[in-house]
């Protein structure tokens, strides 16, 4: 508290990046909404192009906005207090991401422990089973839905296990990179950070292979394969999107390291990317346990 008296908090002058970002989000929303509507109605429209324009605009905004922030930071405008603001902001953002995943985990657990047994007549739902779907038996993974869609369960050994090892290792390497940065050992920093990026990319490749297996004729595990396929693809899919984002963040950090950015004391962006990486790793551990193993 006492230090605050002597530091000035940097309040940036006006910025046009937020309004660029607002228009970009608008284009994404309108584009995506038109796009999915066209898919559903089997019509053709320009929604996809609007969506791509919006995404391009967001990327443009991020380059511009972060460029401003980095320039300000490297010219020494940021105080210790500012650094705290960024750190706290990032940690609460990650908390909000945790809650987003919690919604999908909640759906998974609700379906497994409540709605699927109920559909087969558990508790006071005997008539549901008897009247609606007398053939239906409860099981998890739900390989045969009440309306008769059949599918195959994804095992935990093989690719998912390899992916678990990859991600857990990458969390360790990300930490080692952070330690190297704090000790100002730049070669080690480059090595461990580079390795983390590679592990992330290999993870994504394996995830792609796994999806290809799922969609192949032997497994017939589709997004539309009832509640098991729904939760499987939505959870691993959103996780995969977060890994993609995390990998991009780490690659950007690697480029900045090669450019000579960051000091042992001042490296918020690196830390944020690393926190984010640990977060996707923890989510994966929960996924591995609740989606694959149990």
Contact with other proteins (CB under 8 A) among 48, 85, 161, 206: 85
Contact with other proteins (CB under 8 A) among 53, 62, 70, 118: 118
Residue in the block written with tokens 């984010």: 276
In sequence order, what are the residues at sequence separation of 6 or more whose Cβ sits closer than 8 angstroms to the Cβ of residue 223? Answer: 229, 230, 233, 234
- Report the site for other proteins in 208-267 (rule: CB under 8 A): 223-224, 226-230, 234
Contact with other proteins (CB under 8 A) among 63, 110, 205, 215: 110
Instruction: Judge whether 114 and 42 are in contact, CB under 8 Å.
Output: no
Site string for other proteins, 1-20 (x = CB under 8 A): xx-xx--xx-xxxxxxxxx-
How many C-beta neighbours within 10 Å does residue 261 have?
A: 16
Backbone angle region of 140, left / alpha / beta, with phi > 0 → left and psi within -120 to 50 → alpha: beta
Position 97 contacts other proteins (CB under 8 A): yes
Position 81 contacts other proteins (CB under 8 A): yes
Q: Quick one: DSSP state of residue 157?
A: T
- Report the site for other proteins in 123-152 (rule: CB under 8 A): 123-124, 132, 142, 145-147, 149
Q: Quick one: DSSP state of residue 46?
A: S
Task: Closer to other proteins by CB, 129 or 246: give it.
Answer: 129
Site string for other proteins, 33-72 (x = CB under 8 A): xx-xx-xxx-----------------------x-------
Which token pair is 229? 């396929």
Task: Closer to other proteins by CB, 99 or 187: give it.
Answer: 99
Contact with other proteins (CB under 8 A) among 56, 59, 74, 103: 103
Task: Closer to other proteins by CB, 49 or 95: give it.
Answer: 95
- Alpha-carbon distance of 189 to 179, in angstroms, equals 8
Give the helix/strand (H/E) hosting 43.
Answer: none
Position 88 contacts other proteins (CB under 8 A): yes
Task: Closer to other proteins by CB, 109 or 179: give it.
Answer: 109
Position 107 contacts other proteins (CB under 8 A): yes
Give which of 242, 237, 232 is closest to 282, Cα–Cα: 242
Position 111 contacts other proteins (CB under 8 A): yes
Position 23 contacts other proteins (CB under 8 A): yes
Q: Looking at 23-31, 175-183, 257-265, 278-286, which segment touches other proteins (CB under 8 A)? A: 23-31
- Alpha-carbon distance of 50 to 56, in angstroms, equals 10
Which token pair is 262? 């960051």
Task: Closer to other proteins by CB, 232 or 288: give it.
Answer: 232
Position 84 contacts other proteins (CB under 8 A): yes
Q: How many residues bind other proteins (CB under 8 A)?
A: 74
Q: Which residues pair with 26 in a beta bridge?
A: none
Residue in the block written with tokens 């991020």: 62
H helical segments located in the chain? 17-41, 47-74, 80-110, 116-119, 126-127, 159-182, 186-215, 226-258, 268-287
Task: Give min distance, CB of 8 to other proteins, in A.
Answer: 7
Task: Closer to other proteins by CB, 93 or 156: give it.
Answer: 93
Give the helix/strand (H/E) hosting 150.
Answer: none
């Amino acid at each position: 508290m006492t230090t605050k008296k002597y530091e000035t908090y940097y309040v940036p002058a006006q910025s046009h990046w937020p309004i660029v970002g607002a228009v970009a989000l608008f284009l994404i929303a309108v584009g995506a909404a038109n796009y999915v509507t066209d898919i559903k109605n089997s019509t053709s429209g320009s929604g996809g192009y609007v969506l791509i324009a919006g995404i391009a605009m967001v990327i443009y905004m991020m380059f511009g906005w972060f460029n401003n922030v980095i320039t300000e930071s490297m010219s020494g405008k940021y105080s210790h207090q500012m650094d705290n603001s960024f750190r706290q902001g990032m940690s609460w953002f990650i908390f909000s991401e945790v809650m987003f995943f919690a919604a999908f985990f909640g759906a998974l657990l609700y379906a497994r422990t409540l709605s699927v047994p109920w559909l087969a007549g558990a508790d006071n739902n005997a008539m549901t089973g008897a009247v609606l779907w007398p053939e239906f038996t409860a099981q998890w993974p739900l390989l045969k839905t009440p309306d008769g869609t059949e599918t195959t369960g994804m095992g935990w050994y093989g690719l998912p296990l390899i992916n678990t090892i990859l991600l857990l290792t990458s969390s360790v390497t990300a930490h080692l990179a952070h330690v190297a940065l704090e000790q100002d050992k730049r070669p080690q920093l480059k090595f461990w950070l580079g390795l983390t990026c590679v592990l992330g990319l290999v993870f994504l490749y394996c995830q792609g292979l796994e999806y290809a297996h799922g969609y192949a004729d032997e497994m017939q595990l589709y997004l539309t394969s009832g509640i098991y396929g729904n939760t499987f693809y939505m959870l691993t899919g959103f996780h995969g999107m977060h890994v993609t984002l995390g990998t991009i963040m780490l690659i950007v950090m690697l480029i900045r390291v090669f450019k000579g950015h960051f000091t042992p004391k001042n490296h918020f962006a690196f830390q944020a990317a690393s926190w984010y990486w640990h977060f996707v790793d923890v989510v994966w551990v929960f996924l591995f346990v609740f989606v694959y193993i149990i």
